[in-house]
Amino acid sequence: MGFDKDLFISYAHLDNQPLAEQQPGWVTRLHASLAAMLSMRLGHPAGIWRDSKLTGSDIFADEIVQQFPKTALVLSVLTPRYLESDWCEREIREFCKCAENCGGLVIDNKARVLKVIKTPVDNEEIGRAS
């Protein structure tokens, strides 16, 4: 199955706030590191994307959902804020729905949904994000 994009990073925007001015946020640094490492492994520039402009008051962007069938993997950055976010929940739910229609949630024995735990969260909450 061919995909136009390799990875979508799903995260709560609050979790990308820089700790100091003139410094990129944690998710921005993760994105850059993943892009470099995955590009090296693939032998060509990795197609990694994320929503870097929408806020909680915006309407859920259809353009995000329209990209999911073209995206191989989703990476959820789990934090307490992520687990409380209706927006993040919708992103993962919509990706899973699209994945079921585009090759399944598992391809060649490899999961298409990944989790990174950035901030300690309750184990019960992690299960809810699956």
pLDDT digits (tens, 9 = 90+) for 74-126: 999 999 999 999 889 999 999 999 999 988 999 999 999 999 999 766 666 55
| Nearby residues of 111 by Cβ (< 8 Å), 6 or more positions away | 105
pLDDT at res. 24: 93
pLDDT at res. 33: 96
Nearest to 119 by CA among 30, 20, 50, 24: 30
End-to-end CA distance of the chain: 23
Length of the chain as a residue count:
130
pLDDT at res. 114: 96
What does the pLDDT look like over 17-39, one tens digit per residue? 988 888 999 999 999 999 999 99
DSSP bridge partners of 116? 77
pLDDT at res. 124: 64
Say what the pTM is.
0.84
Confidence of residue 61 (pLDDT cuts 50, 70, 90): low
* Cβ contact 77:118 at 8 Å: yes
- pLDDT > 60? residue 60: no
pLDDT at res. 43: 96
- Residues 118, 89: Cα–Cα separation, whole Å: 17
